Chains A and B, each alone.
Chain A
Amino acid sequence: MNSRAIVMAKKYGFVLLFAAFIALSYIGNFAAGKEIGKNFRVFFMEMILILPLMFILIGLFEVWVPRERIIRHLGAEAGHWGILWVILLAMLQVGPLYAAFPVAALLWRKGCSVRNIFIYLGAFTTLKIPMLTFEVGFLGWKFSLLRALFSFPVFIAIGFLLAADLKGRPFAVKEPE
């Protein structure tokens, strides 16, 4: 139990320090600290609303989707259809980039190819539908359409380039401990 407490303290030390800083800022009426605390609350709300849902979905995916199916459709031998599937998967998601990493790790464990993992990340950063609707609202459909159109070949090329680079090298998407 004691060693466990030490591990927890190590893991969350940075966060505790930050919490103490914000608390002191409020007590001492330190404007900069209060402002940073306010920023943190906005980002934290975004994270805490989306991520638990994401991890529920990841957990369900983990137990229900057999590895063979992912290998067949998204694996190294899957061909061009695999690209389409990972792009569609990415488009349906929400959240900031760091929400995509756990999904990438999951896809990797299930046998998705290196190329498709990075195409998934590229599509996630540029083509998420919830983000696109927002973008169209503020910057217009022409802006979004052009951006999507030009991004498409770019992130596919990045997927192929990284896959080529990693061919023959030891590579794995790790799950942080």
Chain B
Amino acid sequence: MIVLALATAILLLLSFFADRGKTLAGLKKGAKMFLNILPAMLGVLILVSVFLYIVPASALTRWLGQGSGWTGIASAALLGSISLIPGFIAFPLGAILVRSGVSYQVIAVFITTLMMVGILTLPLEAKYFGWRVSLLRNALSFAGALLVGLLMGIFL
């Protein structure tokens, strides 16, 4: 985060000294793109906030903790696909699950689907890629994430 801020500041300064007009035009373009997508992004954040209230991290832990075998994997895949949890919540959650004895396979499937599949962000994704492609990308990612999670379970 700090690295990103520093890099942006340095590039911005370099760009500004190299060509003021070009830099301002770029900033204007960036700001316009940001403002255009802002309402849709706020919408996604609202969905996520409500979702995390209905399904808090403690409930996720409980559900994933109970499951074993194929039911555990299926519920992990489902929860991972729907949830939109940032890494700073998901990884500590995974660590708790490991300690409470949940199989690595279940955790791996949850983490991989969480990363690669985004059902709550679909409306936003569709704005960029269209519904057909977005659904296809998420379906392929779901299959891929499941495969990765299951393979990891063999080695962990």
Residues of A within 8 A of B (CB): 11-12, 14-15, 18, 32, 35-37, 39-40, 43-44, 46-47, 49-53, 55-64, 94, 96-98, 101-102, 104-105, 118, 121-122, 125-126, 130-131, 134-135, 137-139, 142-143, 146-147, 150-151, 154-155, 157-158, 161-162, 165-166, 171, 173-177
Give complex CA distance A97, B121 in Å: 8
Question: Is the interface on chain B under 10, 10 to 19, 20 to 34, or 35 or more residues?
Answer: 35 or more
**A131 — which chain B residues lie within 8 A by C-beta?**
87
B-side interface mostly: helix
How many CB-defined contacts (below 8 Å) exist between A and B? 199
The one of B31, B107, B145 that contacts A59, using a Cβ cutoff of 8 Å: B31
**B79 — which chain A residues lie within 8 A by C-beta?**
none
Listed by A's residue number, 20 A-B pairs whose Cβ atoms lie within 8 Å are A15-B46, A36-B50, A53-B4, A55-B30, A56-B12, A58-B30, A59-B29, A59-B31, A60-B15, A62-B30, A97-B84, A97-B125, A101-B128, A105-B128, A131-B87, A146-B155, A155-B116, A174-B127, A175-B36, A176-B37
Give complex CA distance A177, B22 in Å: 23
A56–B115 CB distance below 8 A: no
Residue of A with least CB distance to B128: A101
Give complex CA distance A47, B141 in Å: 24
The one of B36, B84, B112 that contacts A147, using a Cβ cutoff of 8 Å: B112
Nearest chain B CB to A16 CB, angstrom units: 10
Query: CB of B53 within 8 A of chain A?
Result: yes
Residue of B with least CB distance to A132: B87
Report if A35-B26 is in contact (Cβ < 8 Å); known contacts: A122-B116, A154-B144, A171-B133. no
A150–B136 CB distance below 8 A: no
For B42-70 the 0/1 string (1 means CB < 8 A from A) is 11111011101100000000000000000
Report if A176-B42 is in contact (Cβ < 8 Å); known contacts: A50-B4, A138-B95. no
Give complex CA distance A176, B87 in Å: 27
Which of B120-156 touch A at CB < 8 Å? Answer: 121, 124-125, 127-130, 133, 136-137, 140-141, 144-145, 147-148, 151-152, 155-156
**B92 — which chain A residues lie within 8 A by C-beta?**
138
Nearest chain A CB to B59 CB, angstrom units: 13
A142–B156 CB distance below 8 A: yes
Give complex CA distance A154, B46 in Å: 31
Give complex CA distance A177, B79 in Å: 32
Report if A125-B27 is in contact (Cβ < 8 Å); known contacts: A11-B39, A138-B92, A162-B133. no
Nearest chain B CB to A163 CB, angstrom units: 11
